[in-house]
């Protein structure tokens, strides 16, 4: 096809931009004057470019300005200057987090300006229409809405303009494009269903295909396969067709074959597997795989050698409007390269690994899926590890597949993507598509995105954009341009370590790659340092400047150490930073953490000098000391360091320098002794610093003996023995170097013993453990022991604890099996005399503990036990005595030791229990302990009655009577028995006591004497007493409540009531009596009255409870004998109080009287109560007004009970009516059969027209013929009349699978129907067909239902309200009570039951 004039004009105006080689593009070639109109795509395309930035969009209106730089179009946020922010000052020193991932700008987003300009120009000048589709291979082809295809070369020059407006009017818009592998053919699909093939070499039309698929559908996809003679297309009907191109005798033809019919599910996306040039020989390419995505599933089929479906995969539930996506990519998995199909519909991307097995079959393996939080509308591979996605909000996301991490997000909203909605709706052919496909088409942009060779092209309405991965150097430079140096270094380090995602441009040997990246990092470090010095705030607070450099310097140091470039750090960066005083200080201070962590062990002399000076001037002496002890001494100026450390008491640093730098291990000890020695010698109290120095000295000595360097590391092996000997020689010196005339011998040992004897001896003990084969060391060991004895024995300056500690130490050393020490045994006798001196009461516990430790060492140290025991008894060393008695098995004497020891006397109970219960003691020894315990039982009970009782229950049950008789003091006996007889949750094994009743009665007698208020509780909890004896005891001590309880328990209700009533009258007497001294102390009188009334209330409540408990089992006469005296007593007291005009007391008694009346009304008839009140002499002679309150209260009670009775009756009647109504409705309801056939013979009853037939329908819905039920013997009744027979559902009553018979088991009663309906059917001659006529319908109840109905009637049957009210109104008391009782307790058991009625089947 020849080119039109319009196309030639476009070609002449084309630019020569190199699409594939972005770095060499010259943007000045498209220097178009700016238009004075609001920004449009055309004006953006015509803006002037900068020489420095090539192929980079300058105006940020096409991309989100919030996340990119105007010059670099990067997506990282700009660094902001916050040096003036107060919160900024509080930030901590920045450290490098090597685990945090920094990705920077991963994608380079560029506008294809030549193509974009010519798309707009073509639309304006030649009416080419808007762009509709794009595809990329060796060239770029853009289809338009007027049926043209514009072909551009790699320089963005327009090579071909295929088609014309006439073709466009006939075929419609270009809806799909595809270029074959060698860029010689272009397939164009059109909105009206035609397909054309063009020769890209000369622009000639080769084929016009109009019959490849059903007419009236648009082409959604047309795709070449690896075979240039084979293509596939997908139309808006959801069908997929294979296009096979043929050329026979110079004639070109196309054969079409349907691969998938839209009637089985509409396919809206197809993707053939096209191998890149490197994998053209891959064995899987022989199958010509094709992936298809329908609205419900994914299919992978093979076109060769024959059509075959290899895999189907259904979607998960997703939004119906989500667009299915497919994308192939060859990926290396386990050292082999195979294609991976990525597909999605919604927010989940699935991956399928497709591989060829040795058998020739295709095997599909599901890989880990990728879950996102967006609706994906475009899915593309940009390389084998990285995916580029676009969501429905037109947000582009770069995702690393192995880690599933989103590396970058871009906003494509201003790109104005072209959507393929018109083609999916097939508007050009009348819109004859399904609603589901039209809904998916709303977000379809398949033809607007095309990927090729690591590039993805996006088609906008007026522009074309290309996305490529930036190489590693570009990504670092982008961050540097944004002044994000820390992020740039972090990203560079991830490239260095091979952990960066989407890395591009790193090739060759790993060591060479690391070298290249290291050079780049060094460059960034220099730029970062220069930037920090340039951007340093010149004015403001010093804290602001310090914070500024604290964010910079640690980063510089970190990466220099990571790169192992300390030369760079000290020789180049430090001199630059030293130009700023604040930066220099921050640098020196930041070195501490690296030195302490042993990441930096060597400093140059210049920096060490500056570090000393700065730390000293800043008062950071502790930090200086921590640094010095971690540094290599060869980098230190020893003289300067020692001088500074001595002046500032940095003793750890001094020791380190002397040890490591000069191999001098003695001088530090001399200096430390000089610090603490004078204070100890003069007896002054040690300061906190002195204690620290002393402990430091002990630790240093122990380190030297152990062969370890102080404070870190180990002493060189060739110096270990020499150092030990030097330290020993130093310690055993007779005098110090600068000794005076009055100095004690062995001053160093003296000092250490006075400072902390125990710790010094521990140091020696640990040291002696290592001296086994060293002859020289053994000599030193013996020498030190002799010196210790010489210094401490007979020296009053040392306490008994210190002397005892020494001999304990010696005893332990002598007890060792390989001991070589010699100690005079007489010295131990002297120590014994010293510790057991009876004249010295000071430090008693300390001396006893020391002697005990000495004895417990055992073995070598042996004393005269008789002499030792005498000394211990005189010194009251009871633990020593116990130790000796234990050895002699004198366990009884040990009890005496416990009882005499004021600190341990309460432990005697545990000791006695352990001896008597644990094995290992002979019966004679246990009996000895038992006798000794009984001998001291009074002392034991006095110590702790509870523990004594536990001991008795466990071991002395038989001796309880003896123990009780020995306890002469009644109070002591009461406490003991209270604990002994107290109820216990866990019974003791031998808890059955002899004469237990006597003990409980004895305890009851004692409790009545000492705790009368607890007697009643005791009687409730205890059951081991005799009633008669207990009653005598309580009467003896006038414990009336307890007496009443016992009489009631015995059955003497009248006697118990008499006691309670008498007690009540006694308490009422003081209240009712007129007091003559009421004038004095009103507050006291009111308090006493209130207390008395409270007591009376409790008594009245108790008497009422008593009467209510016992009236249930008494006759009417006996009931009156209980209630009427109580009522009389209350009314009499009320009358007396009213005469005294005591208002508060009267009201209280009135309330109590009404309470008695209300309670007795439940047991005594109301006429009897009124008669009793009127017969009372107090009220009989008085006026009616005096008892008006009582009468009105009784009437109120009657009214309340009458209302309650009426309400209850109404409720019962309502429930009865409701139950009967529902039951009647249930049994008279029509039945609807579930099936139209008999459940026995399975014959349809409507089709049996030969004779009249009766059917039976059950409430369960099953239907049967009458003769079928009779054959199965399902008759449940006994009457001969058919209408009176009761039937049982055969299917429901069968236990297994319909095999039923007559059964009378209760479990099968539920299978009986609520009602059976008999339906008789007959043949009609009138003609329209056979019908069935209902002969009769009978509603009956089965026996179970009749029984239930009888229970309901019985339940609600009872005396009428009229009869009850008549009884109340007219009968005498005895007759009425008998009638009421008979009505209430008759055979029908009238009770108030308000349970809901039964639920019936609806």
Asked whether 455 and 110 are in contact (CB, 8 A), the reply is no
Distance between first and last Cα of the chain:
83
Give yes or no for residue 160 having a pLDDT over 50: yes
DSSP 1296: B
1379 or 373: which carries more pLDDT confidence? 373
Q: How confident is the model at residue 741 (pLDDT cuts 50, 70, 90)?
A: low
CA distance 341 to 367: 10
Helix (H, G, I), strand (E, B) or coil at 482: coil
Angle at 419 between CA 415 and CA 420, to 5 degrees: 155
Per residue in 1120-1141, pLDDT (tens digit) is 888 888 888 887 777 777 666 6
Asked whether 324 and 293 are in contact (CB, 8 A), the reply is yes
Residues recorded for the chain: 1402
Which two tokens mark 99? 């685990």
Q: What is the pLDDT of residue 242?
A: 94
Per residue in 844-866, pLDDT (tens digit) is 776 777 777 777 766 545 677 77
Token pair 């060769």 is found at 304
Q: What is the pLDDT of residue 1332?
A: 38
Q: What is the pLDDT of residue 141?
A: 95
Q: Give me the numbers of helices (H) and strands (E) for the chain, helices first please.
A: 52, 33
| pTM attached to this predicted model | 0.57
355 or 89: which carries more pLDDT confidence? 355
CA distance 1388 to 235: 86
Asked whether 480 and 474 are in contact (CB, 8 A), the reply is no
Element spanning 223, H or E: strand 219-224
Nearest to 480 by CA among 810, 816, 104, 55: 104
Nearest to 1166 by CA among 1366, 1369, 1362, 1359: 1369
1321 or 641: which carries more pLDDT confidence? 641
Nearest to 339 by CA among 407, 286, 396: 286
In the predicted model, what is the mean pLDDT of residues 438-450?
Answer: 92
In the predicted model, what is the mean pLDDT of residues 197-202?
Answer: 93
Residues 6+ apart with CB under 8 A from 16: 29, 155, 156, 157
CA distance 583 to 589: 10
CA distance 1237 to 1262: 9
In the predicted model, what is the mean pLDDT of residues 700-729?
Answer: 87
CA distance 3 to 10: 11
Per residue in 896-943, pLDDT (tens digit) is 888 888 888 889 899 889 988 888 888 888 888 888 888 888 888 888
The lowest-confidence range among 724-733, 739-748, 1270-1279 is 1270-1279
Q: What is the pLDDT of residue 519?
A: 93
Region of 245 (left: φ > 0; alpha: ψ -120 to 50; beta: rest) is: beta
Four-CA torsion 766, 771, 776, 778, nearest 10 degrees:
80
Element spanning 653, H or E: helix 651-656
CA distance 582 to 623: 18
The lowest-confidence range among 391-400, 785-794, 1049-1058, 1139-1148 is 1139-1148
Residues 6+ apart with CB under 8 A from 573: 525, 526, 529, 556, 560
Q: What is the pLDDT of residue 1388?
A: 38
Q: What is the pLDDT of residue 42?
A: 36
Which two tokens mark 383? 């390389």
Which two tokens mark 1301? 């018979």
Asked whether 813 and 765 are in contact (CB, 8 A), the reply is yes
Q: What is the pLDDT of residue 400?
A: 93
Give yes or no for residue 433 having a pLDDT over 70: yes
CA distance 324 to 1373: 95
Which two tokens mark 1280? 């001969």
Burial class (CB in 10 A: 0-12, 13-18, 19+), 358: exposed
Q: What is the layout of strands, in order, in the sheet containing 376-383?
A: 376-383, 386-391, 395-400, 405-411
In the predicted model, what is the mean pLDDT of residues 956-978?
Answer: 84
Q: How confident is the model at residue 1343 (pLDDT cuts 50, 70, 90)?
A: low
Element spanning 590, H or E: helix 581-596
Q: How confident is the model at residue 772 (pLDDT cuts 50, 70, 90)?
A: low
Q: What is the pLDDT of residue 1004?
A: 85
Residues 6+ apart with CB under 8 A from 1134: 1146, 1149, 1150, 1153
CA distance 1288 to 345: 58
Element spanning 1170, H or E: helix 1166-1175
CA distance 232 to 222: 6
CA distance 460 to 991: 98
Give yes or no for residue 1076 having a pLDDT over 70: no
Q: What is the pLDDT of residue 1355?
A: 56
Asked whether 354 and 284 are in contact (CB, 8 A), the reply is yes
Q: What is the pLDDT of residue 475?
A: 92
* 396-410, 538-552, 1038-1052, 1073-1087, range with greatest mean pLDDT: 396-410
* 573-587, 1038-1052, 1087-1101, 1259-1273, range with greatest mean pLDDT: 573-587
In the predicted model, what is the mean pLDDT of residues 82-106?
Answer: 56
Q: What is the pLDDT of residue 11?
A: 38
Q: How confident is the model at residue 827 (pLDDT cuts 50, 70, 90)?
A: confident
Give yes or no for residue 39 having a pLDDT over 70: no
Task: Centre a 10 Å sphere on the Cβ of residue 627 and count the other Cβ atoms it contains.
Answer: 24
Q: What is the pLDDT of residue 1348?
A: 64
In the predicted model, what is the mean pLDDT of residues 22-49?
Answer: 39
Give percent above pLDDT 70 in the chain.
78
In the predicted model, what is the mean pLDDT of residues 7-20?
Answer: 37
Give yes or no for residue 83 having a pLDDT over 70: no
CA distance 1374 to 905: 74
CA distance 103 to 469: 12
Q: What is the pLDDT of residue 1328?
A: 36
Give yes or no for residue 1278 having a pLDDT over 60: no
- For 1386, how many CA atoms within 13 A lie in the half-sphere containing its CB? 13
1196 or 226: which carries more pLDDT confidence? 226
Helical spans, DSSP H, in 944-1039: 945-955, 960-966, 970-980, 996-1010, 1015-1021, 1027-1036
Q: What is the pLDDT of residue 40?
A: 40
> Average per-residue pLDDT in the chain?
78
How would DSSP label each residue in 443-460?
Answer: T--GGGEEEETTEEEEEB
Q: What is the pLDDT of residue 46?
A: 37
Per residue in 245-257, pLDDT (tens digit) is 998 887 888 999 9
In the predicted model, what is the mean pLDDT of residues 591-605?
Answer: 89
Q: What is the pLDDT of residue 1188?
A: 64
């Amino acid at each position: 096809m020849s080119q039109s004039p319009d196309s030639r004009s476009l070609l002449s105006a084309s630019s020569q931009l190199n699409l594939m080689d972005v770095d060499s593009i010259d943007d000045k070639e498209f220097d178009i004057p700016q238009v004075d109109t609001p920004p449009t795509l055309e004006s953006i395309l015509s803006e002037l470019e900068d020489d420095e930035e090539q192929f980079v969009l300058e105006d940020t209106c096409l991309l989100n300005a919030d996340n990119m730089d105007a010059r670099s179009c990067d997506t990282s946020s700009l660094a902001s200057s916050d040096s003036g922010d107060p919160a900024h000052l509080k930030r901590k020193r920045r450290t490098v987090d090597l685990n945090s991932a920094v990705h920077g700008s991963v994608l380079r987003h560029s506008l294809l300006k030549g193509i974009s300009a010519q798309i707009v120009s073509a639309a304006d000048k030649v009416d080419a229409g808007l762009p509709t589709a794009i595809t990329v291979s060796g060239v770029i082809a853009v289809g338009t809405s007027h049926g043209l295809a514009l072909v551009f070369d790699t320089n963005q020059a327009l090579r071909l303009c295929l088609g014309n407006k006439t073709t466009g009017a006939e075929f419609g818009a270009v809806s799909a494009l595809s270029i074959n592998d060698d860029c010689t053919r272009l397939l164009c699909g059109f909105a009206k269903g035609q397909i054309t093939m063009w020769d890209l070499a000369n622009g000639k039309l080769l084929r016009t295909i109009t019959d490849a698929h059903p007419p009236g559908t648009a082409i959604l996809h047309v795709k070449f396969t690896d075979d240039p003679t084979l293509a596939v297309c997908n139309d808006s009907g959801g069908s997929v067709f294979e296009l096979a191109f043929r050329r026979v005798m110079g004639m070109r033809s196309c054969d079409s074959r349907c691969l998938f019919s839209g009637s089985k599910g509409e396919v809206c996306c197809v993707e053939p597997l096209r191998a890149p040039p490197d994998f053209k020989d891959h064995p899987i390419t022989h199958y010509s795989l094709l992936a298809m995505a329908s609205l419900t599933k994914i299919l992978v089929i093979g076109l060769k050698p024959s059509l075959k479906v290899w895999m189907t995969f259904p979607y998960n539930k997703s939004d119906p409007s989500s667009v299915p996506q497919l994308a192939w990519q060859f990926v290396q998995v386990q050292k082999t390269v195979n294609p991976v199909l990525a597909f999605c519909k919604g927010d989940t991307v699935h991956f399928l690994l497709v591989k060829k097995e040795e058998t020739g079959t295709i095997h599909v393996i599901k890989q880990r899926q990728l879950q996102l939080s967006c609706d994906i509308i475009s899915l593309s591979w940009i390389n084998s590890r990285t995916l580029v996605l676009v969501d429905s909000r037109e947000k582009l996301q770069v995702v690393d597949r192995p880690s599933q991490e989103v590396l970058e997000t871009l906003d494509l909203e201003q790109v104005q993507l072209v959507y393929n909605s018109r083609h999916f709706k097939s508007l050009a052919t009348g819109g004859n598509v399904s609603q589901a496909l039209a809904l998916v088409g709303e977000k379809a942009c398949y033809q607007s995105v095309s990927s090729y060779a690591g590039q993805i092209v996006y088609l906008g309405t007026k522009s074309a954009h290309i996305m490529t991965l930036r190489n590693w150097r570009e990504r670092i430079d982008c961050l540097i341009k944004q002044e994000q140096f820390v992020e740039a270094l972090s990203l560079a380090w991830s490239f260095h370590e091979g952990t960066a995602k989407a890395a591009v441009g790193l090739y060759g040997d790993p060591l060479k790659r690391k070298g290249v990246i290291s050079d780049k990092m060094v460059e960034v470090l220099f730029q970062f340092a220069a930037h920090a010095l340039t951007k340093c705030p010149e004015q403001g607070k010093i804290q602001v400047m310090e914070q500024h450099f604290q964010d910079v310097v640690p980063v510089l140091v970190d990466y220099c150490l990571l790169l192992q470039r300390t030369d760079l750090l000290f020789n180049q960066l430090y001199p630059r930073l030293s130009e700023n005083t604040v930066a220099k200080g921050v640098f020196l201070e930041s070195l501490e953490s690296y030195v302490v962590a042993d990441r930096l062990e060597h400093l140059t002399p210049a920096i060490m000098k500056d570090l000393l000076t700065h730390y000293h001037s800043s008062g950071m002496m502790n930090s200086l000391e921590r640094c010095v002890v971690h540094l290599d001494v060869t980098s230190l100026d020893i003289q300067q360091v020692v001088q500074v450390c001595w002046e500032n008491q940095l003793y750890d640093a001094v020791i380190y320098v002397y040890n490591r730098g000069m191999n001098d291990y003695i001088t530090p000890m001399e200096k430390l002794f000089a610090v603490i020695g004078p204070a100890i010698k003069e007896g002054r109290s040690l300061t906190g610093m002195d204690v620290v120095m002393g402990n430091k000295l002990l630790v240093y000595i122990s380190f030297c003996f152990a062969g370890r360097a102080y404070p870190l590391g180990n002493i060189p092996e060739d110096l270990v023995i020499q150092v030990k000997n030097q330290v020993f020689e130093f310690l055993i010196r007779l005098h110090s170097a600068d000794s005076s005339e009055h100095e004690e011998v062995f001053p160093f040992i003296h000092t250490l013993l006075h400072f902390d004897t125990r710790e010094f001896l521990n140091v020696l003990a640990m040291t002696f453990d290592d001296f086994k084969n060293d002859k020289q060391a053994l000599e030193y060991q013996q020498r030190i022991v002799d010196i210790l004895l010489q210094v401490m024995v007979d020296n009053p300056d040392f306490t008994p604890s210190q002397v005892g500690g020494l001999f304990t130490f010696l005893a332990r050393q002598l007890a060792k099996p390989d001991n070589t020490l010699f100690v005079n045994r007489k010295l131990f006798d002297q120590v014994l005399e010293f510790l057991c001196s009876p004249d010295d009461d000071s430090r008693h516990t300390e001396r006893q503990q020391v002697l005990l430790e000495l004895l417990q060492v055992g073995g070598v140290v042996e004393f005269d036990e008789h002499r030792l025991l005498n000394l211990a008894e005189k010194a009251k060393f009871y633990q020593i005595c116990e130790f000796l008695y234990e050895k002699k098995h004198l366990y009884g004497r040990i009890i005496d030791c416990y009882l005499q020891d004021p600190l341990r006397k309460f432990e005697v109970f545990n000791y006695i229990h352990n001896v008597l219960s644990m094995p290992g003691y002979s019966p004679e020894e246990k009996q000895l302990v038992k006798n000794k315990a009984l001998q001291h039982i009074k002392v034991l009970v006095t110590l702790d009655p509870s523990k004594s009782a536990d001991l008795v229950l466990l071991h002395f049950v038989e001796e309880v009577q003896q123990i009780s008789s020995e306890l002469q003091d009644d109070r002591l006996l009461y406490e003991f028995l209270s604990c002994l007889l107290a109820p216990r949750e866990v019974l003791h094994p031998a808890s059955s006591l002899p004469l237990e009743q006597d003990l409980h009665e004895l305890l009851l007698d004692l409790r009545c004497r000492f705790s009368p208020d607890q007697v009643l509780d005791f009687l409730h909890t205890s059951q081991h007493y005799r009633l008669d004896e207990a009653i005598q005891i309580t009467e003896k001590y006038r414990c009336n409540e307890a007496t009443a309880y016992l009489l009631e328990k015995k059955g003497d209700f009248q006697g118990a009531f008499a006691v309670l009533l008498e007690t009540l009258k006694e308490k009422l007497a003081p209240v009712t009596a007129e007091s003559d001294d009421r004038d004095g102390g009103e507050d006291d009188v009111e308090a006493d009255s209130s207390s008395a009334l409270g007591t009376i209330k409790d008594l009245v409540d108790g008497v009422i409870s008593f009467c209510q408990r016992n009236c249930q089992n008494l006759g009417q006469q006996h009931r009156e004998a209980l209630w009427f005296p109580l009522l009389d007593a209350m009314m009499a007291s009320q009358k007396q109080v009213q005469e005294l005009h005591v208002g508060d007391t009267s009201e209280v008694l009135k309330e109590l009287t009404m309470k008695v009346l209300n309670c007795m009304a439940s047991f005594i008839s109301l006429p009897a109560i009124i008669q009793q009140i009127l017969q009372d002499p107090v009220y009989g002679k008085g006026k009616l007004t005096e008892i008006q309150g009582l009468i009105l209260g009784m009437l109120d009670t009657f009214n309340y009970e009458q209302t309650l009775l009426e309400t209850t009756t109404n409720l019962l009647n309502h429930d009865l009516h409701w139950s009967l109504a529902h039951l009647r409705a249930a049994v008279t309801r029509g039945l609807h059969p579930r099936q139209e056939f008999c459940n026995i013979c399975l014959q349809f009853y409507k089709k049996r027209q030969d004779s009249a037939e009766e059917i039976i329908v059950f409430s369960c819905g099953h239907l049967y013929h009458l003769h079928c039920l009779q054959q199965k013997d399902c008759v449940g009744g006994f009457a001969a009349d058919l209408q009176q027979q009761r039937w049982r559902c055969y299917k429901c009553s069968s236990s297994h699978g319909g095999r039923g018979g007559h059964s009378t088991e209760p479990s099968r009663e539920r299978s009986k129907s609520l009602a059976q309906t008999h339906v008789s059917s007959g043949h009609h001659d009138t003609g329209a067909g056979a019908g069935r006529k209902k002969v009769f319908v009978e509603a009956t109840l089965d026996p179970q239902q009749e029984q239930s109905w009888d229970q309901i009637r019985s339940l609600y049957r009872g005396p009428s309200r009229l009869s009850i009210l008549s009884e109340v109104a007219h009968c005498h008391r005895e007759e009425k009570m008998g009638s009421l009782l008979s009505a209430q307790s008759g055979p029908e058991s009238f009770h108030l039951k308000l349970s809901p009625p039964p639920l019936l089947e609806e």
